[in-house]
């Protein structure tokens, strides 16, 4: 046990409330409920002020007292503080007063919000004495673990299903990680990885390090509030895979209000899924507080979790805040990727298309009133999911190297179309 | 008279197998909710079952179960449950993330 644990107090079971020491463990031994980090908010309140935060470098670690490391970050010091962009052209197209885009498509170093959770998990892993880190992933998480481990000099094992696209495999191999392909169905791969995590004394970022790892998502919420001049937005739309990001955005808003860093206000957090994998949004729309597992079938691979670990808690957050949930088809999400790109110059991955598409539906249905303001959380970069939009964005027009031909093309386009 | 000592027959030893422990979520579809599957599982395989949480509604049955036994028995138990139509996940659920 460490002598010094920073502002953390314990790990606590989200089901029964039993407390555990701050080690690499993730479920309650009594009821197997998930564990969550508990902080000493009284101490944090004395040292964390707006002025202190603003005096620090622009990264997610400017809120370090609220992140689960004992001695400060050592990995991913540049991660976070991504742009919050006022998206007027998109707002006009969506028919709402004000839209802000929180753009983690440009997060450092691997262009997704996973860099936040991984930098926390790896910093904590190093504090706990691990020299090897691991994860099982089909994309963004693998890239981030491989890159951040390489920069920190940690040994990394990345487990992937064998049928993954080559581009995604290269994005992890390039960093020198041990990439292991597992043959078999998703369920078998999932169970084997849980077994490996239990057997080897490694820091498995989303298994035994999960209580710390998940807390990294809160930094996205802190940044949104600070960038909105210390105001919690009225509406936030968040895509849901496991549902963890949505619950942590809520926790970040609650913490800032509790610490007096933002004034208390009513806010709604809305959840977005792809129709082909929508266990949480289906349950929310049916008014249920539990979800039924599904077999994913969508191009939004980064959201394709049929049995979401935090689904129950995400449903509770939406219910408590008065938020709604919706889902969009693959065609609708592709169209929304284009809409975001054409209006704001932001190329988001498929999950971003889901978020924009769902926001459009929630505005149309009145769940988000048109006179309100909303924040859309964009979690990854479109360059990672080119296959999803390939064949749906048109073709370049070809001409011979002739100025006359180009002028003819421009003139043809300028000609008014006859009714 | 000296006691007759009988040379003990060599006992065929099997290599000791460390018991495997799996922590699982079982999700029952409505048609299986009334079936005593865990009781049948204990009868079919040489395993110890230990329920830690359970929740039953008209829509779904959810059981948090610890299974302990030889690796082959545990593996076969999971396979049998899935064959019956139960969704079986490790307690961590989504270990493979995007």
User: B97 and A26: CB-CB below 8 Å?
Assistant: no
Q: State which fold the A114-211 domain adopts.
A: Rossmann fold (3.40.50)
Parallel, antiparallel, or unpaired: how do β-strands B47-56 and B61-69 relate?
antiparallel
Write down the ipTM of this complex.
0.83
User: B96 and A159: CB-CB below 8 Å?
Assistant: yes
A40-76 residue pLDDT tens: 999 999 999 999 999 999 999 999 999 999 998 999 9
Per-residue pLDDT at B8 exceeds 90: no
Query: A189 contacts in B (CB within 8 Å)?
Result: 96
Nearest CA in chain A to B20: A195
CA distance A394 to A211: 44
Domain at B20-90, CATH homologous superfamily: ACT domain (3.30.70.260)
Per-residue pLDDT at B10 exceeds 60: no
Cα dihedral across residues A336, A337, A340, A343: positive or negative: negative
Query: A304 contacts in B (CB within 8 Å)?
Result: 98
User: Can you list the positions of beta strands (E) in A210-336?
Assistant: 235-239, 268-274, 325-328
- Virtual torsion, Cα A411, A413, A415, A419, nearest 10 deg: 160
Per-residue pLDDT at A419 exceeds 80: no
* A94 Cβ contact list (under 8 Å, min separation 6): A359, A360, A363
Residue A181: HSE in the Cβ half-sphere, 13 Å Cα cutoff: 10
Given a contact cutoff of 8 angstroms between Cβ atoms, the answer to whether A249 and A236 are in contact is yes
Query: A171 contacts in B (CB within 8 Å)?
Result: none
B23-56 residue pLDDT tens: 999 999 999 999 999 999 999 999 999 999 999 9
Query: B96 contacts in A (CB within 8 Å)?
Result: 136-138, 159, 161, 186, 189-190, 193
Per-residue pLDDT at A270 exceeds 60: yes
Sorted by where each begins, the domain ranges of chain A are 1-39, 84-110+217-389, 114-211
For the segment A212-235, the average pLDDT, to the nearest whole number, is 98
CA distance A245 to A255: 15
What is the distance of C-alpha A283 from the center of its chain? 21
CA distance A125 to A149: 11
Band the pLDDT of A418: cuts 50, 70, 90: low
User: Can you list the positions of beta strands (E) in A23-81?
Assistant: 35-39
User: B92 and A293: CB-CB below 8 Å?
Assistant: no
* A10 Cβ contact list (under 8 Å, min separation 6): A19, A20, A21, A22, A37, A38
Nearest to A27 among B62, B91, B95 (CB): B91
CA distance A41 to A19: 17
User: A206 and B94: CB-CB below 8 Å?
Assistant: yes
Q: Phi, psi (5° rounding) for residue A156?
A: -125, 135
- Chain B nearest CA to A145, separation (Å): 12
User: A206 and B97: CB-CB below 8 Å?
Assistant: yes
What pLDDT score does A121 carry?
98
What pLDDT score does B41 carry?
97
What pLDDT score does A291 carry?
92
- Burial group, residue A132, by CB count within 10 angstroms (0-12, 13-18, 19+): middle
Residue keyed to tokens 């094992």:
A157
Which of A112, A134, A191 to mutate to test binding with chain B, by most B CBs within 10 Å of its CB?
A191
Per-residue pLDDT at A260 exceeds 90: yes
User: B96 and A138: CB-CB below 8 Å?
Assistant: yes
Band the pLDDT of B3: cuts 50, 70, 90: very low
Tokens of A39: 């902080």
Per-residue pLDDT at B19 exceeds 80: yes
For the segment A304-308, the average pLDDT, to the nearest whole number, is 91
Cβ neighbours, 10 Å, residue A339: 18
Mean pLDDT of chain A: 95
What pLDDT score does B2 carry?
41
CA distance A207 to A144: 16
Domain A84-110+217-389 -> CATH class: alpha beta
Cα dihedral across residues A163, A166, A170, A173: positive or negative: positive
User: A190 and B89: CB-CB below 8 Å?
Assistant: yes
Q: What is the CA radius of gyration of chain B?
A: 20
Q: How far is CA A291 from CA A251, A295, B89, in A?
A: 21, 13, 14
Greater model confidence, B77 or B97 = B77
Measured in residues, chain A has a length of 419
- Burial group, residue A169, by CB count within 10 angstroms (0-12, 13-18, 19+): middle
Q: How far is CA A293 from CA A87, A290, A307, A414, B54, in A?
A: 35, 10, 5, 53, 16
Nearest to A194 among B60, B95, B97 (CB): B95
Nearest CA in chain A to B97: A137
CA distance A187 to B88: 8
What pLDDT score does B81 carry?
97
């Amino acid at each position: 046990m460490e002598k010094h644990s920073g502002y953390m107090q314990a790990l606590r079971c989200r089901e029964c409330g039993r407390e555990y020491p701050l080690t690499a463990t993730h479920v309650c031994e009594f009821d197997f409920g998930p564990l969550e980090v508990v902080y000493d908010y009284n101490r944090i309140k004395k040292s964390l002020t707006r002025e202190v935060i603003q005096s620090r470098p622009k990264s997610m670690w400017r809120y370090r007292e609220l992140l689960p490391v004992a001695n400060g970050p050592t990995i991913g010091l540049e991660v976070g503080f991504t742009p919050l962009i006022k998206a007027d052209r998109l707002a006009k197209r969506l028919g709402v007063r004000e839209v802000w885009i929180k753009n983690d498509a440009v997060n450092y170093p691997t262009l997704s919000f996973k860099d936040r959770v991984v930098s926390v998990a790896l910093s904590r892993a190093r504090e706990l004495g691990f020299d090897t880190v691991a994860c099982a992933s089909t994309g963004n998480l693998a890239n981030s673990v491989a890159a951040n481990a390489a920069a920190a000099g940690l040994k990394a094992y990345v487990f992937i299903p064998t049928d993954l696209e080559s581009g995604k495999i290269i994005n992890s191999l390039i960093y020198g990680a041990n990439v292991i392909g597992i043959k078999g169905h998703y369920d078998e791969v999932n169970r084997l990885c849980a077994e490996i995590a239990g057997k080897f004394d490694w820091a498995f970022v989303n298994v035994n390090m999960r209580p710390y790892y998940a807390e990294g998502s809160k930094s996205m919420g802190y940044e949104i509030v600070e960038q909105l001049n210390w105001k919690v937005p009225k509406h936030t739309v968040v895509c849901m895979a496991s549902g963890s990001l949505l619950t942590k955005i809520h926790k970040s808003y609650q913490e800032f209000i509790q610490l007096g860093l933002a004034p208390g206000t009513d806010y709604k957090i809305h959840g977005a899924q792809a129709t082909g994998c929508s266990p949480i949004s289906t349950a929310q729309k049916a008014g249920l507080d539990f979800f039924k597992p599904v077999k994913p079938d969508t191009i939004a691979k980064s959201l394709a979790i049929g049995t979401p670990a935090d689904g129950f808690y995400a449903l509770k957050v939406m219910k408590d805040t008065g938020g709604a949930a919706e889902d969009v088809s693959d065609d609708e999400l592709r169209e929304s990727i284009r809409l975001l790109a054409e209006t704001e110059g932001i190329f988001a991955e498929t999950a971003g298309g889901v978020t924009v598409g769902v926001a459009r539906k929630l505005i149309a249905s009145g769940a988000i009133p048109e006179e309100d303001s909303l924040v859309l959380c964009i979690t990854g970069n479109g360059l990672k999911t080119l296959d999803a939009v390939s064949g749906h964005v048109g073709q370049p027009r070809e001409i011979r190297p002739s100025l006359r031909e180009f002028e003819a093309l421009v003139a043809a386009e300028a000609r008014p179309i006859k009714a | 008279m000296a006691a007759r000592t009988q040379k003990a027959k060599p006992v065929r030893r099997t290599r000791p197998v460390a018991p495997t422990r799996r922590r699982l979520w079982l999700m029952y579809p409505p048609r299986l909710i009334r079936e005593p599957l865990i009781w049948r599982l204990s009868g079919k395989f040489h395993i110890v079952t230990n329920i830690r949480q359970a929740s039953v509604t008209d829509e779904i049955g959810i059981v948090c179960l610890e299974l302990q036994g030889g690796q082959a028995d545990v593996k076969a138990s999971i396979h049998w449950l899935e064959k019956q139509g139960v969704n079986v996940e490790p307690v961590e659920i989504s270990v493979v993330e995007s």
